[in-house]
Structure 1
Amino acid sequence: DFGFTTLPTTENFETIPLKKDRILCILPQKHPLSILDKVHIDQLENEAFITLKSGYNHDIKRILKDTGVTLQNSFEMADDQAILAMVENELG
């Protein structure tokens, strides 16, 4: 038997990574961090944040918890186009 999951998993299972995904930060053009090539998670402290609804944001929530970074006004949207529109209008 086999299944698909995100890492990390419990030690009781053998895991074979199939693919690594980059996590992208989408910023409004006028945001101070938008001039950077890379943004470290610490630089997002207290920023307004928008993500896809539960089930799609598990990795991001885990990374934030592990690094102790707190974001403000977290929004969860069902559609990635809605997120892009909100960011474009500086709502997150």
Structure 2
Amino acid sequence: MYENHFHTSMKSNNQSQQAMNQNLVHLLPQLQQYCRYLSQNKWDGEDIAQEVIVKALDRYSQKDEITPALLKRMAYNFWIDTIRKR
């Protein structure tokens, strides 16, 4: 009985992970465009988008959905931190 529950739980987690990955793939072009707008530079924009995706996957992997607003806020904060460091 425990094995059956474990396998069902694993399938559910895998499906949830796949749905989140598809959501991120769908949101990536929009995030990249926003990051290029923030930085006014293609290279910095790509770096920001990449860092935001990594952080979102690391910190919000247990959440149901990563929203565009969350990604944009993370990008904005990352860009502000980058400017302050320079």
Q: Same fold, TM exceeding 0.5?
A: no
Q: TM-score, normalised by structure 2?
A: 0.23
Bigger fraction of residues in helix: 2
Bigger fraction of residues in strand: 1
